[in-house]
Amino acid sequence: MNRRSPRTRAYAPDPGAPGRCCDLPGCGAPGEYRAPKSRTALNDYWWFCLEHVRAYNAGWDFYKGMTPGEIEAQVRSDTAWQRPTWPLGRLGGKLDADMLNDPLHVLNAGRRTAHDAEQRARAAAEAPGDLREPLATLGLSWPLTLDELKSRYKQLAKLHHPDANNGDRAAEERLKIINLAYAALRGRLIAAPMAAAS
């Protein structure tokens, strides 16, 4: 909400002025400008004329008379709008990632990765004995779909192909092992639906 100031100019007289003379002794000009009496009474005002409010403002120092420690405490208090603050997790409150709305799972990433690794290890233990080595070679877990297998094989074949590695013999040997693992898993996945159908 935009609140417009009733003043036409920044130095225009305050419309809420009480209509009395300037509070500076000996000045008979109208007191149309307010100024706080002290830092402890910011809502209690002196009413000055324009000349005297300018002089008052030029000499105003909110922190005058405060020690460095008091100034630091005041700045910290002002940073939080004079409301109490405390480190997260104090006063019995605990930040729980499950309580937060985190649709991208950014806050839960570490716990999630450990959980995924645990699931992969459990799934590898449940895999048929003859498929554990081919699964480990391709970095896959059981159960597995044919599409997942093909996708992973294409990634590894591109990575370890001798043409992509300047004819490296070690890369060629790795590709042969990957081909054998792919063939074993593919044969099992193709045979499984046929066995289920008969």
Whole-number Å distance between alpha carbons of 74 and 71 = 5
- Whether 107 is in a domain gets the answer no
pLDDT of residue 69: 92
Same domain assignment for residues 120 and 52:
no
- Whether 51 is in a domain gets the answer yes
Question: Do the Cβ atoms of 53 and 17 come closer than 8 Å?
Answer: no
Same domain assignment for residues 120 and 54:
no
pLDDT digits (tens, 9 = 90+) for 9-42: 666 777 777 778 888 888 888 888 888 888 888 8
- Whether 122 is in a domain gets the answer yes
Residue 30 DSSP code: B
Same domain assignment for residues 127 and 185:
yes
User: Under 8 Å CB-to-CB from 176, ≥6 apart: which residues?
Assistant: none
Q: What is the CATH number of the domain that holds 161?
A: 1.10.287.110
- Whether 102 is in a domain gets the answer no
The torsion angles phi and psi of 41, rounded to 5 degrees, stand at: -130, 65
Number of domains in the chain: 2
pLDDT of residue 84: 77
Prediction pTM value: 0.38
User: Under 8 Å CB-to-CB from 11, ≥6 apart: which residues?
Assistant: 50
Instruction: Give residue 117's domain range.
Output: 112-197
pLDDT of residue 112: 58
Residue 67 pLDDT level (bands cut at 50, 70, 90): very high
Question: Do the Cβ atoms of 89 and 95 come closer than 8 Å?
Answer: yes
- Whether 3 is in a domain gets the answer no
CB atoms within 10 A of CB 12: 13
